[in-house]
Structure 1
Amino acid sequence: MSGSDPAPEAAQDGGLVVRVRREDGEVAVCGLAGELDLETKAPAAAAIDELIAERPAVLVVDIAGVTFCDSSGLNLLLRARTAAAGEGIDFRLAHPSPAVARVLQITGTDTVFTVLDDGDAVLRAASR
């Protein structure tokens, strides 16, 4: 975590927890845990939109803790990737849980996203 962020921000809404942190001012990480679906995606969308507005060099959405993702959750990630690209931000997904990895594979979107599986890759993302 960077020195400017004393603690991660967290919001909980119906089973989804959103945590935001910034690494060295160049990398923003939005960690999601719980179910990412139509009823719970609002806090994730708000956090990701806010991070895109800050224009970090790299935006990483860590989905290791996501236990369920429906089509609206997947659509949120796809729209975030497009919005980030439009701002010149390198968008990456990190640590997809087995459930989410399966959704990405079935829908073919695993080839659309840059996926980080290595824990240190999030920090190295800023140097790319």
Structure 2
Amino acid sequence: MRKEIIDTDKATKPTAWYSQAVRQGNLVFLAGACGDDPVTGEIVGDGDIKIEAKAALENIKHTIEAAGGTLENIVKMQVYVKDLNMLADFNEIYKTYFPENPPARIAMAVKDFMGGANLEIDGIAVLD
């Protein structure tokens, strides 16, 4: 079993030396996704965490789809926000992507993100 690099034009391309996701067997490891536009690479929303959250979750959604799965295959998410006071607004968007049986999750505050983002999300999925 060898690892497969997952790459899609529907999600933001990495700006550093890493892959959007890596599939090893039935596991998919999703790299961190910020709320950036896949075409321009720029953070969207002018600081609005809800707009950034939607863009980041869309990037995650498109990446897991490129790996052959759906959001339902995600079993663990890690959420990093600039300020924990943003978490309630983030959760409002997050629950629309995981309305039932959400993945296990951790959320924590991180001081700074590349490009001025307010959040970053990564995850692990299990494909059937």
State the TM bucket, normalised to the shorter chain.
Answer: 0.3 to 0.5
Q: Pick the structure with more helix per residue.
A: 1
| Structure with bigger RCO (C-alpha 8 Å, 6+ apart) | 2
Bigger strand fraction: 1
Give the TM-score of the pair, scaled to structure 1.
0.39
